[in-house]
Amino acid sequence: MWLIDSSIGRKLIMSITGAFLVLFLLFHSCMNIVVIISPEAYNAICAFLGANWYAVAGTSVLAAGFVIHILYALVLSYQNLRARGPERYAVTKNQKGVSWASRNMLILGAVVFGFLALHMYNFWFKMQFAELSGIHTGNFEPSKGAEYVKELFSNKVYCGIYIVWLAALWLHLTHGVWSALQTTGLNNKTWLPRVKVISNIISTIVILMFMSIPVYYLFGCGSCI
């Protein structure tokens, strides 16, 4: 099957599943930033999403897409290591024009996955899953998440870890988005520079929306809530 056997097919799979990750992050960054604008509105969103099975189904599809993206990346990395054999231990000269992020996508992906798992535990398992299952895993009401977000980000260590994760995520996205668009055919001399700019803008907007939350609480701006 050419999707698996050919390099173009493999890149296409990574591009499509990577798009699920971008959409997932874009949706959640738009939702999460509401907590620093209006805690009441954020609680209303939590209550709506927690009880709405259509929203759960949509989120599950997006989540499944980026899980496949991560697993497939691990498989491809393993296959590449095997194909290179002993040469993988040789010191090679960095290719001109190849960014650090593109050479270390697997490392960045591992960092992103690790902290994403922590994020999902804190915000999905303790909030949406708790509301859907009726099994409370925290000492707060799942549909009233603003208070929990404030409590969580009052921990400066967690804020620092969260910001480091977002920095890695930004590097991963800035390369991943334009690489995905390039794979789909936007790779000529006219469009490639534009694609890179668009990917940087999208990635930066998503990360800034996420990062505004720990920064907001880190500087004590949430004390009035």
Could you report the per-residue pLDDT of 176-194, keeping only the tens digit for each? 666 666 655 556 666 667 7
Per the model's pLDDT, the better-predicted residue between 162 and 60 turns out to be: 162
Instruction: Identify how many contiguous H helices and E strands the chain contains and give both numbers.
Output: 11, 0
94: phi then psi, degrees, rounded to nearest 5: -65, 135
Verdict on whether the full-model pTM lies above 0.75: no
Whole-angstrom Cα distance, residue 63 to residue 68?
A: 9
pLDDT attached to residue 51: 65
What's the CATH code of the domain at 192? 1.20.1300
Domains in the chain: how many in total?
1
Whole-angstrom Cα distance, residue 210 to residue 166?
A: 8
- What does the pLDDT average to over 73-80? 71
pLDDT at 87 over 80: no
Amino acid at 34: V
pLDDT attached to residue 88: 45
pLDDT tens readout for residues 105-115: 667 777 777 77
Share of the chain above pLDDT 70, in %: 69
Give me the helices (H) in 52-137, please.
53-84, 100-103, 105-120, 130-133
pLDDT tens readout for residues 195-222: 778 778 888 999 999 999 999 988 877 6
Confidence of residue 91 (pLDDT cuts 50, 70, 90): very low
* Domain, as residue range, for 148: 2-88+97-224
